[in-house]
Structure 1
Amino acid sequence: MTRGLWIITSVFFLMSCNSSTKIEQLPSANSSYRIKSLIMHFTAVDYANSKRLLVEEGGLSAHYLIPQRNDPSYPHKTLKVIQLVNENERAWHAGVSHWQGRNGLNDSSIGIEIVNVPQCNELIEHAEDEHHAPVLSDKHVKPFCIYPDFDPQQIELLIELSRDILGRNPDISPTAVVGHSDIAPSRKHDPGPRFPWYQLYQNGIGAWYDNATIAKYWRLFKQVPLSTKLLQQALRDYGYDLKPSGEFNQITYDTIEAFQMHFLPWHVTGVNNPRTSAAIMALLEKYFPNKAKAILDQYERDNIDEMRSVSPSSAKVAEPKGQINGTFPLQYESSRSAVENKVRFKAYEGRGEINILSTQPTSADFYVNGQKLTLDKLFSENVQYQYSLGKRTQDGVNTLFIDNINPPDARLMINIPYPSLAYEIDSKTKGDFARLDELIENEIENGFPGLALLVAHKGKVIKKEAWGHAKKFDAKGNELTQPLAMKPSSLFDLASNTKTVGTTLAIMHLAYQGIIDVNAQVIDYLPEFSGDLREMIKVKDLLRHNTGFPSDVKFFDNNETVNNGLFSQNRIHTHFLITQRLSPSVNNLIDQYSSYSDINFMILGMLIERVTGQTLDKYIEKTIMASLGLKNTLFNPLEKGVALENIAATELAGNTRGGLVNFINIRTDVIHGEVHDEKAFYSMQGVSGHAGLFSNLDDLSVIAQLILNKGGYGNTRLFDEDIYREFLTSKNASEEYALGWKKATEQNRWMFGPYASSQAIGHSGWTGTLLIIDPQHDLVIVMLTNKKHSPITINDTRVDFAGDHYELGKYGSIASLIYEAILH
């Protein structure tokens, strides 16, 4: 028989044998897929050594290997995924492991090895696991390692591969996409703290918590911490191999560290803290709500006395009304009788009120500044009493003492609102400002476009006036035959004053609520803000301009010689470029050197959106401004029904600088009712943390008085004195910036003038706006101009706006004359 005939006969025989067995298909409902987990690893060695360890006999294996660029041992020009083991077969990648009730995960998982090499100061001792060859990812001795970023192209391949794997293996849940350190926390560190888990989550791979939920639990656990035993139970419920013993032992440390590397990679300590507890509970609430509820129920039972009215379901801290809003007798005891039932409050001479509500018929003696008030002898039950304090108050600090409360078990609810602005503009005031008025009128007559000015001193508006025109020129610089008159109520493009009265005010409120910690890293709130030293940046670094980000990035300009490859006229893409392509300066971060940059506040705007779950404009307008009753401080005013005649115009020929500048979609007509700033308008669609707000004199004066009141206005409190001190006072008098505000230092004399106190804060805006708040003199200056609404001259490539050359456009002279009117 020939060899060919023998092969044909053998094949026929085998086919005949196979076909003789008849198999009937009867699918059972009681089955599932074998693969339950997707496990990520780093190799800790280069491609050549990885291939040797994963392929040659006697080593370990994985289902896939993904190389990285710039690896001399990788022989190909382009990256590609390399399959080492069929997905239906068992690879030796997990070793001794556990996840979500399963041991020995080699049997039920797919493993992906990613070439990534940490730099460690000594080799790591190797484990002696069955089917596990020695590699640097073993965790027995690891004094110090520096973990490099993963190759972006490598991660793109990983995302594509992982999506395919999840599509083929539907039993892999989001919480079962894990790292080697998750399934073996006492042995493993891979894929390490630089692995982009959040980026994978954004692409539909793996689990992540919701920011609003973690903020909710963070506030709760800052007040009453989650116990070690309940934390252990939460980690076990999520999937970790950890027994809830209540003992903080080595395995607990290792497990917390593994969890933090996955979900809090910017804060890997191995120690429990409110943020770690909040993260695991936020994950349980999202993916295992019944388990979260069981832990929370036990937590409340364990802490019933400490918690009292504390509840994690409250998304916000209850807002106190007024600067004093408490129950007397005060609910603390002191052995020093002279401190009982005494408080201080701010008021102005001849003004102020007190509101009293009693739980039962009660009598008491009230003293303001040591003088007894003449009040009702008996307060009836549940009746609101309101009394003027005008005969007893003085400018500044006032005292309240309540004595002889009878019966002793009675409770008096006391409310004293924060000071609000009053108006007192008379002939004497006009005389004080004669020199100022003369300067303004002369410059308006000589061509300055327009100005609105408000001055408030000791809680009284003593000057509020407008001059000139809100719109005076057409796009070619010709004067209009019917120019639009400026009004005291006109809205102005605040430009960079958006940073103060919008973004910083929102951050102060969120810090007061415990939602944002300015000493925390930005990556705590924006997980994608990683790589190139971004993890070093704290929220306060952004507020103080200590990051070293470029002063201006022209995202909006499609000319690559201008935008440096960072072109974007799309809000989402701009977010990506800022958080993942722009790099800070290590020198600024280490030396705490300030270098002004819009980028800092663009990031803060994104941060506000992330922690509140709202767009920046909605949060600032509906939460901050609405609580103060302010309706004229808003983004994109035309879209919200504000008429053009109520808004001051800015640049004449769009953003062209008289035709010198050109890019795609550039505006060429007079900018009127839209934000002028190019990054805000083109790249952020009018809503950004650095620019975009419009406002007027009245609204800004309320915000300024709120700052003078150290956090409140009337019966609204946005923050307290602790937040005020943290943001607006500094031990270093030479620092140019407080948190979010400029200080009246020598560098800023040009805008504050020579008389501002060392306590003064403020900011200017490119379009011609100035805000000064001076606590020492109890003074507010709101100066709004449209100085950029003026003709342009071009010298070579230098652009001159005529409005910049007037004293009104330079700020300092106006500030000086106002101070002289107040101080002389």
Structure 2
Amino acid sequence: MVTLGFCRQNTGHRHKQPGVTLFSVYWQQGRKSQFRQLVYSTGALLMFGCATVKQLPSENHDKRIRSLVIHFTAIDYAQSVQALVGKDGLSSHYLLPESRDPSYPHSNLTPLQLVQEEDRAWHAGKSYWQGRTNLNDSSIGIELVNVPDCQPELLAAPQGPEYSSPSCVFPAYDGDQIGQLIELASDILARNPDIHPTAVVGHSDIAFNRKRDPGPRFPWYQLYQAGIGAWYDDGTLARYRQLFSEQRPSVYLFQKALRSYGYGVNESGVLDKQTKNALSAFQLHFLPAGVTGLPDSETAAILFALLDRYFPDQLAECVNDFEQQVELISTQQPPDKRGQLDQTLIGQTPDSTNQPYLRQTFKAYAGAGWISLAASQDSFADIRINGQKINIAQPLEAGRNYTYSLARRTRNGLNTLSLENLQPDNVSLDVRIPYPVLTGGHAETTIEDDKVDKLIQQRIAAGLPEAVLLVFKDGKIIKHTTYGTARKSASTSQTSIPPESPKSGHSRGLLAMFTQRMTGLTANEYCENLQYAPLGLDSHGAAAQVAAFDVSDDFNNSLCYGKNLPFSAPDLTLAEDKSATLHSDALELATLLQSLLNGGGYNDRRLIGTDTVQGLLSPGSKQGGSASGLQQANKLRHYFGPYASNSAYGVAGQPGLIALVEPELEMGIVFLTREPNTSDYTDEPASTQASAEPEFFAEVVSLIYESGLNAP
């Protein structure tokens, strides 16, 4: 054994360094000349004296080492030594061989120290854990020789971390190797008391978008039993299993809990790829038999049980958020009622006051609306809309459904309904008025000024491939114009967008975003919790499959079918091959915007409550403001222009999209474009002037406001 001494103050701290020394590593590799050079260089240093330094200890310090990171090498011992010791490679503080490795030249396993613990080894790469980045600066890394069996071309799932392919087979870890790891890790923890149990992690925990090591066969629980690392309490787990048995936490809450534990996941409320990768990493560590990357109830219970044990303050916030989620879901349970007014009245002997049986307000537009009546037995009643009696059958026959137009009685905004003289006693009468719907879908334009068309056509001539503009006011589509290739796509059922073009991407993206962020649940979770397709659209289009779309375009596409929202707009039939175009996107988005103007409903379906619509725009709401995607006009002036009122809101800034709701005018604007070179039909470069920048959107919106907005 050779000991090298350097000039340093003796602090009384002595490191216990297990295994063989750097001398042994150099000697085994036949690098004797390099070792001699190291000795000579060190001797030269010792020829010079050391400056005298007086110790004045400060209270303001802590230990550099805050994490212990476990890796597998994925290559055998000989290759690992070359990669971790040779020039221009990587490194770790320790390397642990395995006994089954034919490239290991010794009969007894011996841990190798490659880098001194006080030095930085290059093992973590881009990483994050518990608020720290670049964990090479603050961690000790241990590499275990363990080689998964993966087909080279299937090493990773598409756009996934290494060794995430289902084709990979992970061998069990060598028992002797794990025994030595436990001894080594125990010594490391003793020397570095600032390493918290939750900071004993795998490479997959700190770099979940890139790495999967040490893999699903690593015995984390065995280490915990030896006093190394974190684990949950079984009794606590049972309690959270019960809590989440009927309803799981939202994606937003999963993200918050994961980040509270240590994972560097963004709290977006969207089940995107980074969230799935983080969930997979967590499951690899604590639920290796169920690595799905999905936010299931068992994963939630384990995650909350760990927070309960190690981070009680963060747990309290997460539990409070979950209770609010449960309350929100309970208030969002879709009632059996259909439409904005759906009541059952019971006939009874009139009292001396002769008060009407029903007085109710409802929203409608002038010249539109209808009422549905159904009686349990032959009955009589008087119904007035805005004080004017409507003609209905007398009697209303039992078992028949009656529908009467209110077009001659309704006005824009709030309308009144009163029902009187319901007879005979004990008759039940169902009264229903639906939400307003859009009409006039074939209107090419009723906006007087053609400046809007000229402006958009100029941009088309400059290279913008396609655009669609739809404007509706007071329930009527007053402009629906297509430009460029979108015009060709909308003009014939035989023409469809090529396969590489987005298929209803704007509408599906917004619809899924609303589902996920205004409730805090993914589209999957919302449908599962409510047993309802709150945002289903035309059955011919891709938006009927809204639950199959998220920001990462990676949802399961198998739920929330069969609850399609009926439209009054007459031109919703898409191409024969059901490829959606920007033309159909605009119609679907307009319907969604109208439902927001209606307070959350459309036709006979309530999508969300009025309180939820308001909550989307509340500055302090977890679902509101920019987190929901909806923003008020004062935050989007550069897109909406100067005329939008302070009560206007919508979405802008997503590629090629403006969706504006103007409550002051009962108006909505949908303007969709497809940028050059995103999915155009040719490989020719488009003009850089063709892109739809904010100023262009703002000018289009401003011209619409200036046009007068004359509905037919």
Relative to the length of structure 1, the TM-score reads 0.43
TM-score, normalised to structure 2's length? 0.49
